[in-house]
A and B are shown apart, each in its own frame.
Chain A
Amino acid sequence: MPRQRLSPGWAALNLYGAAFLVFLYAPLALITVYSFNANAINMAVWEGFTLDWYRTLFGMQPAGAAFDAAFTENPDRIFQVLRNSLVVALAASAISTVIGTATALATARYDFIGKRIYQGLLFLPMMMPDIVLGIALLIFFVGVGFKLSLATIIIGHCTFLSSYVYIIVAARLAGMDNTLEIASADLGAGPLTTFRRVTLPLIMPGVIGGFLLAFIISLDDVVITYFIAGVDTQTLPLFILAMMRRGIRPQINALAVLLIAFSFVVASAGLYLRSRKN
């Protein structure tokens, strides 16, 4: 093995691996650096370290620098869109987790007519282009007379997030021995007790993983949300998009870095829980 490690092929593989990581993370690293750059006009030119962009993001006017009011965001607005995003992400991923888990249990444990077709249809919302789904949802909500609001965003997100949760939990269930549920019944446990004490604990990593994935996807969804958000119900990604229209401002970098950090924490937690055996 040690010989092999020194071989040109091995070196090339290592190089490729490193290059791939750079490719993935260079933009994120760059935006992180920019978010601390004091240069307000041209962020590609380093002018010294500053936390001003983070401060102005939350309405704190740094002293000493020449900031006009236009550079400072309205903190009420930021907190409101942040709140909207979190409410949507939490509600949609919680509802989707329940629906997706229940669906996975049903398809894993029972046979019914048209099961294969049903399983196929569950994949479809994931495969469908977001823009199609967004337009379809908009037409639907308008058609049935729903006023566009946070609720319509939540409902819209549930339609495709349930599929993600379903797939993750179904994979977990496929690896679970169903004689364990039989054994639980044999020992006198009714269906509810069996679910609570045997099935749920065993699929829990999948359930939590599915929830976190759904949460992250919901949190940063732009396309679908764009169609089904009401005029006064902006989410964070839509807010960033609106900020961009006014030009790329340094605050956007700061906001992006905060989002990256948050996603990183949630994704790590999800990965950890999924890899943890039982």
Chain B
Amino acid sequence: MRHASDHELLRVDNVRKSFRTPESGVVTPLDGITLSIRNNEFLTLLGPSGCGKTTLLKTIAGFEDLDEGEIYLDGRPMSGVPAHRRPFNTVFQNYALFPHMTVAGNVGYGLQVAGVPRAEEATRVADVLRLVGLSGLERRKPAQLSGGQQQRVALARALVNRPRVLLLDESLSALDRKLRQSMQIELKNLQHTVGITFIFVTHDQEEALTMSDRIAVMDKGRILQLGTPAEIYDQPASRFVAGFIGTSNIFTGTLTQDNGAARVQVAGGPAIAVTAGGFTAGEQVDVMLRPEHFALVPGGNAASGSIVAVIENIVFVGTDLHLHGRLGNGMPVMALERHARAAGGLNLKAGQTVTLHYQATSPHLMKSGAA
């Protein structure tokens, strides 16, 4: 069993990259990215479409030159090293399978190029195809495969080389839920058994939370926050990050202090009791409350540490109910209730007024207007 060590494997140092676009503008998908990736780590890049995730992977792999900055592997600068000499493999967002080769030919390509003996190649190809569940399709051409099968060939083609760093660009996106979960487990196993470092791009926040040792949330070519999944979830640095992972209620207001009781006064709305560590009275702040922070009591009984809302919509999602409501001033709010509890006597209905209680330690404060 191997674990992410503190040893720094890859360092992305103040990397900048712009493209000229046909609209006669300039996009800067990498606007000063600095990132330290540890040996054997599973790092996920998360961010909206077009924020520069693929471009970052391409610069690491060596397909794009940098405008500024440097990438180091084990302290060695990579800028003079062409892509084919870097011990990285990529699973491309569009798969990029060789159409004129069979599945076995695609997967074995890296080994053939590296001069691995035929017999070893055959066993390693068979092994990795079994791993991704494609045994028996060795002789098909990519055009004869489904999208999900093609994606798994792309995964196998990269995995079989056992690279130091594996760059995955939304590489599980085309798989159904069951297959995706089993591939997630396989990748995590490989991280520990083979000792591969993963840089993983996904749009699926659940996947990011379950797979990652650390998550980097990106927007417009910058890294907004880098931390463990729990850090990102519990202490997002900004409204943007909070909005990107999980569901959240975010209110903007002014921090007030009176007799040691800190509150955030939402303009035209409730005052939310908070613990104000690191912020000073009078500051504009964003307060985040996760839906699961609320304990629901029927009836409108506003007191400190609670807010009153009217339920508008109840969505059943299995174990939980998602309650969409509105505060007195019309602001939307979302709460979570266990289905079992709600069914057992609460008898929630749309139009009902409820009080949502929370612990004073639950609200998370963020600088207002922070990127």
Residues of A within 8 A of B (CB): 177, 179-180, 182-191, 193-194, 197-198, 201-202, 278
User: Cβ of B82: which chain A residues have Cβ within 8 Å of it?
Assistant: 185
Interface SS of A by simple majority: helix
Tell me whether A186 and B98 are in contact (CB under 8 A): no
Contact B94 A187 (CB under 8 A): no
B316 to chain A, nearest CB (A): 43
B61 and A189 within 8 A (CB): no
Q: Which residue of A is nearest B110, CB measured? A: A187
Give the shortest distance, in Å, between B101 (CB) and chain A (any CB): 9
- Cross-chain contact of B84 among A180, A190, A201, A202 (Cβ < 8 A): A190
User: Apart from A185-B62, A191-B84, what 17 extra A-B contacts exist at CB < 8 Å?
Assistant: A180-B99, A182-B83, A182-B92, A183-B92, A183-B96, A183-B98, A186-B88, A186-B89, A186-B90, A187-B110, A188-B84, A188-B113, A189-B84, A189-B109, A197-B109, A202-B99, A278-B100
Q: How many residues of B contact A (CB 8 A)?
A: 24
Q: B70-113: which residues lie under 8 A (CB-CB) from chain A? A: 82-85, 88-90, 92, 94, 96-100, 109-110, 113
From B98, B110, B158, give the contact of A198 (CB < 8 A): B98
Q: Give residues of chain B (251-271) contacting chain A, Cβ–Cβ below 8 Å.
A: none
**Does B96 contact A193, Cβ atoms closer than 8 Å?**
no
CA distance A191 to B82 in the complex (A): 10
Name the one of B96, B99, B158 contacting A182, with C-beta atoms under 8 angstroms: B96
Q: B100–A193 contact, CB under 8 A?
A: no
Interchain CB contact under 8 A, A187 and B100: no
B55 CB → nearest A CB, Å: 13
- The answer to whether the Cβ of B317 comes within 8 Å of any Cβ in the partner chain is no
Closest chain A residue to B99 by CB distance?
A278
18 contacts between A and B (CB under 8 A): A179-B94, A180-B96, A180-B99, A182-B83, A184-B98, A185-B63, A186-B84, A186-B90, A187-B89, A187-B113, A187-B157, A188-B113, A188-B114, A188-B161, A190-B84, A193-B113, A197-B109, A202-B99
Question: Which residue of chain B has the shortest Cβ distance to A176 in the bound complex?
Answer: B99
Closest to B85 in A: A188
Query: Which B residues are CB-close (under 8 A) to A186?
Result: 61, 63, 83-84, 88-90, 158
Q: How far is the CA of A152 from the CA of B89 in the complex (A)?
A: 51
CB contact between B109 and one of A187, A190, A191 (< 8 Å): that residue: A187
**Is A189's CB under 8 angstroms from B88's CB?**
no
Contact for B63 among A182, A188, A194, A278, CB less than 8 A: A182
Interface-centre pick from A179, A187, A194, A278 (highest chain B CB count, 10 A): A187
Residues of B contacting A201 in the complex (Cβ-Cβ under 8 angstroms): 100
Q: Report the 4 A-B pairs with minimum CB-CB distance, sorted nearest first.
A: A187-B110, A183-B96, A185-B83, A185-B84
